[in-house]
Amino acid sequence: MLGSTIPGTESLGQPPRNLIQINATAIKGEQGTGFEKRGDKGPFTCGNCEYFDAAAGACDQWDMKTKSKQPRLDDGRVSVAFDDCCEFVDRKSESRNESKGQNTLR
The SS3 assignment for 54 reads coil
Helix (H) or strand (E) holding 78: strand 78-79
For the entire predicted model, the pTM comes to: 0.59
Q: How do residues 39-94 score in pLDDT, each as one tens digit? A: 666 677 898 899 999 999 999 999 999 999 999 999 999 999 999 988 887 776 55
Q: Give the distance from CA 103 to its chain's centroid.
A: 22
